[in-house]
Homo-oligomer: A and B are copies of this chain.
Amino acid sequence: MKIQELVAKNIFKQSGYIASEKTCIIKMDANENPFTIQEPLKKVLRKKMLEVDLNRYPAAGSPDLRKRYAKYFGVKENMIMLGNGSDELIQILCMTLKGRIKGVLVPVPTFSMYKIIAVNTGNRVVEVPLDKKFDLDVKAVTDRIKNDFPALIFLSSPNSPTGNLFSRAKIEIIIKKTPGVVVIDEAYGTFSGQSLISLLKRYDNVIFLKTLSKLGMASIRIGFLIGNPNIIAQLDKVRLPYNINSLSQIAAGFFLDYEEEFSKQIKEIIQRREELYTGLKQIKWIKTYSSRANFIFFSCAFDSNHIYSRLLAKGIAVKNLSILPLIPNCMRITVGTKKENEALIKALKSITPKQGA
């Protein structure tokens, strides 16, 4: 057996996503909510879990959750589909929307899984750099649309790792000009205080992604795809019938039951983000960008690999973006608890350019 003859060329060539698995006292690398649920809520969830018949298949297509979350997002039931994390929904989009019109366009830098999944599903990928303020370069995007007719354009807004929202006006121009679908990934939307979901009323070629992963439920892998029912009907053929396990279905229901509790945590994270931003601004060798997400993006005046290892040695894990071509020596730090943020600032202040040289 010759393995290189069996494996799709694009997959054989690429290295795949490397998930960081740092066991740190302070985890600020994965854009998780730093707060976990406590008693008496934990007890409620535990009780709900007991209702699951472990021996039975989960409800195919998660019908109860579709109904409840449709209401939550203010859309009709046939406009929503659940995924095993947004990753699975991105994969379904890339597998399904490969007709006469095909290919994927992404602004860069952005969430790396768009490209990885697009390549793995055999798609051509066009990357268009963001402008200097990390907003969309509409002219560059629309020029590429004219040549490449992409079936999918992924826009993460707020964008990871840069933390900014894309302007609504620019997004609308792109929606109007593309022959395909614009996917607006609002994974971090809750931290921005705004959503463009009302665009669904004006355009039939917009799809939204949402997730529970940043809101306190990363463990259970629940993502949402929201949009045109005719597109969803096609995507739903590709969705594996039992893609959401029973335990995660229960937990996603629990999230809605106690959404107020989670909202309080989100409010606190937003407050902490502003404190962290102020703290980071005081450090001379850091250039901080304001954020609408649950993380802060900054560039360092010296080698970020050095800073990354120094923080790790102090038990703090952050996302080192040194390898991104357009933004050298950058980092992305998830907003932590008050204590965690203070520990981070203290640690950063103890690192000097001298040590990095």
What residues make up the interface of A, taking CB atoms closer than 8 Å to B?
1, 3-9, 11-12, 14-17, 19, 21, 27, 30, 32-37, 42, 46, 49-50, 52-61, 63, 84-85, 87-88, 91, 95-101, 117, 120-122, 151, 179-181, 204-205, 213, 216-221, 230-231, 234, 236-238, 240-243, 245-248, 251
Instruction: Please name the residue on chain B nearest to A9 by beta carbon.
Output: B99
On chain B, the residues within 8 Å of A50 by CB distance are 42, 46
Contact between A96 and B3, CB atoms less than 8 A apart: no
B11, B36, B55, B60: the one contacting A234 at CB < 8 Å is B11
On whether the beta carbons of B61 and A19 are closer than 8 Å, the reply is yes
A251 / chain B contacts, CB cutoff of 8 Å: 54, 247
Of B3, B91, B100, the contact of A240 (CB 8 Å cutoff): B91
A-B contact pairs, 24 of them (CB 8 A): A5-B101, A5-B179, A6-B97, A6-B99, A8-B95, A8-B97, A17-B241, A19-B61, A27-B56, A32-B56, A35-B55, A36-B56, A37-B55, A49-B49, A49-B247, A54-B217, A56-B219, A58-B221, A87-B242, A95-B120, A98-B122, A120-B237, A219-B247, A221-B245
Q: Report the Cα distance A122→B4, complex, angstroms.
A: 19
- Report the bound CA distance from A17 to B238 in whole Å: 9
Q: Which of A52, A54, A218, A251 has the most CB of B within 10 A?
A: A54
Q: Are B85 and A240 interface neighbours, CB within 8 A? A: yes
The answer on a CB contact under 8 Å between A19 and B52 is no
Question: When chains A and B are docked, how far (Å) is the Cα of A17 from the Cα of B100?
Answer: 24
Report whether over half of chain A's contact residues are helix, strand or loop; otherwise say mixed.
loop
Contact, CB under 8 Å: B54 / A220: yes
Q: Which interface residue of A85, A121, A204 has the most chain B CB atoms within 10 A?
A: A85
Q: In the complex, which residues of chain B have a beta carbon less than 8 angstroms from the beta carbon of A234?
A: 3, 7, 11-12
Chain B positions within 8 Å of A6 at CB level: 97, 99-101, 151, 180-181, 231
Residues of B within 8 A of A88 (CB): 240
Cα distance, A4 to B231, chains bound together (Å)? 10
Contacts of A35 in B (CB 8 A): 55
Q: Which residues of B contact A30 (CB under 8 A)?
A: 56-57
* A91 CB to nearest chain B CB (Å): 7
Q: Are B242 and A245 in contact (CB under 8 A)?
A: no
User: Does B242 lie within 8 Å of A221, measured CB to CB?
Assistant: yes
Contact A242 B36 (CB under 8 A): no
Closest 9 CB pairs of A and B: A19-B60, A16-B237, A219-B246, A247-B247, A8-B98, A1-B205, A221-B245, A87-B240, A19-B241
Determine the residue in chain B with the shortest Cβ distance to A17: B241
Asked if B1 contacts A204 (CB within 8 A), the reply is yes
Instruction: Give A353 to B71 CA distance when docked, in angstroms.
Output: 48
A151 partner residues in chain B, CB cutoff 8 A? 6
Residue of B nearest to A206 (CB): B1
Contact of A87 among B21, B42, B230, B241 (CB under 8 A): B241
Q: Does the CB pair B57–A11 fall under 8 Å?
A: no
Which residue, A240, A246, A251, has most C-beta atoms of chain B within 10 A? Answer: A240
Q: Which of B14, B54, B120, B245 contacts A245 (CB 8 A)?
A: B245
Q: A217–B55 contact, CB under 8 A?
A: yes
A245–B230 touching, CB < 8 Å: no
